[in-house]
Structure 1
Amino acid sequence: QAAELESEGKIEKAMLLYEDAVDSAERDPLYHALLARAYMKIGRFTDARIQAERAAELSAPGDRTDVMMLIARVYGAMGSWDKAQDTLQEVLEQKPKCGEAHFEMAKAAEGLCNYTRMVQALDEVARLGSRGSSPEYKAALEERQRRISELSNQTNSENASVETYYALGILYKETGRWADAVEAFNRAFDSQDMGADAHFWLGVDAEASGRRDQAVDMYKRAVALCPNHAGALRNLERSLLLKTVEEFPTDRDAWYTLGLAYSSFMNWTEARIAFGKTIEIEPDFAEAHFRLGRTLEMLGETDEAAAAYARTVELFPNHVEAAEALARAENGG
């Protein structure tokens, strides 16, 4: 019944039936996995992780691959890309030819800005032929390759336009050829007509290579060309804050704002570090304890989250959100 409701898009009703199934057969890993999937669909990621891990505990050693994949996807949805990557590595150690695991590994690597690893994973997916086998996908890929060849021929001309290099860079990026994409964007770089996206991707490449000053410059240029460029704005804020905390490591506000920035795009692991640094600098900063509690809760560390909420209430007894979160944590969610 739950599966039928889920197929009809009635996720919350399906979730209630899955919960009943788990209560009726607590040691059946399948029911825990199905409940985890339902929780994930409605954004209850911590609950999804708990149920998926319970399914893994109950599964036979040789039957855990699908559950471990689910756990990795939950971590990805929570923005914990490092944990997703570690989980997927476990899967690949058991099943090195699992194309889905390589595909999820590519997503985790992208989340960690490890574009070399991302391309390696996508290359492995292509080699295994586990994705993109539909006629529509193959036709789209062939069209991209045809367009790349066409634009590459145009760049051999002395009068190749900025638009040609930029379009070629975008196509390279979409097909995972990052080094070629950066080279194409660089060829367009001398012109003021280069688009915001090109500056953004040059910034991403510079940041991944440790050239933060150059990355900041690229992000600034992208924002100047497109003030609402979400990716450039986000990366610029993070890069400037990282630069600030490197220059002024005891700047409480810089660390706290960096934590908020990481939280805004669900990088909970880095947010935890930033809020922790904030508290090291000022142990009685109540709001930092509260934000740390939220971060720990998203990472599934409920006991530590409860302690952070308790400290918040101790420092600021009228903090309503912290009191509610503490009660929720103490009651098991």
Structure 2
Amino acid sequence: MEITDRTDLGADLHAPQVDDAGREYWSYALVTAVQPGDIVLHWHKSLLGTPGVVAYSTAAEGPTADEILWASQGTYGRTRPLAGPEPSWRYALTGYTPLARPVTQDAFRKAEPKLRKIKKHLEERHAGSLYFPFAFSDKRPVRAAQGYLVKLPAAVISAVPELKQIPLTRRRVPTQRSSSSDLAAVARKRRGAGYLRDEVVRLALERHAVDWVLEHYSNHGYDVKDVGSTESYDVLALSGRRELHIEVKGSSGDADTVELTANEVEHASVASTHLVVVDLIDWRRLPDGTVETSGGRVRVWEKWTPAKMSLKPSRFRYRLPAGSDHLYSSTDT
């Protein structure tokens, strides 16, 4: 569950890599523990006029090392000036769904005895921190935990009837709970990852983007061919004597960077290349395990050469130029 007051709910999970003191912080590091297909609840502090769950999304791809402007909460955080962008963890989401009936804080307070039992049961079964989504006190009603990202046990959905409008997912749960230091180690290992761990989803997003390019350029008079398996670019487009090499990137997130291999950078520097980025792609997993994709935003950069100042060595991370030569819906050709 994401606990926030941001205005762009559902775009991604995004948090600093360290806290104000420069230390790994469990609630930020949990972004790197998210798995593709996880359901993420969005708890907003003010959207309803009172805190509560307003929507849910599905984890799509990540984690990716990025940068963020972050203002810490609390008295100190509100008075501390922003020092500029700092290293962050980002995890792309898809399928943002506002709740037809938002679940306010009052619903959780009515269910407080059940929530306390859930936490006690988990404490008996698991050693170490639970990263539980709610804080209890003898002096005040239950409230959301202090932090950005917390773990929400599936049992909470059953304990709060108003949450049953949110779907459940099933995935294997580790037999041993990770400690905060374990999460920090995972985060360091994944620094600069930027890859999609679910291979089926990754390939489906790539296929969706390439298929759009093939159809679009074919409808504009080009003979097109998917050459991604043999060349350092994805699509060859021919029209008379004109030859275009097209680099294609697909993502379910809101892409302001793309990853480039050294061969892709080298090739685009010497050949006439278009860059096509299809992002904000919706996807869902079907009962047979295949992935269905739809929609998306398409941006095209013509006569594209990767600017050295926009490259970051990972393989390479390329910051997309502002605007684009053309803007389409993925249903346009």
Name the TM-score, length of structure 2 as normaliser: 0.25
Normalized per residue, the structure richer in strand is 2
TM norm structure 1: 0.25
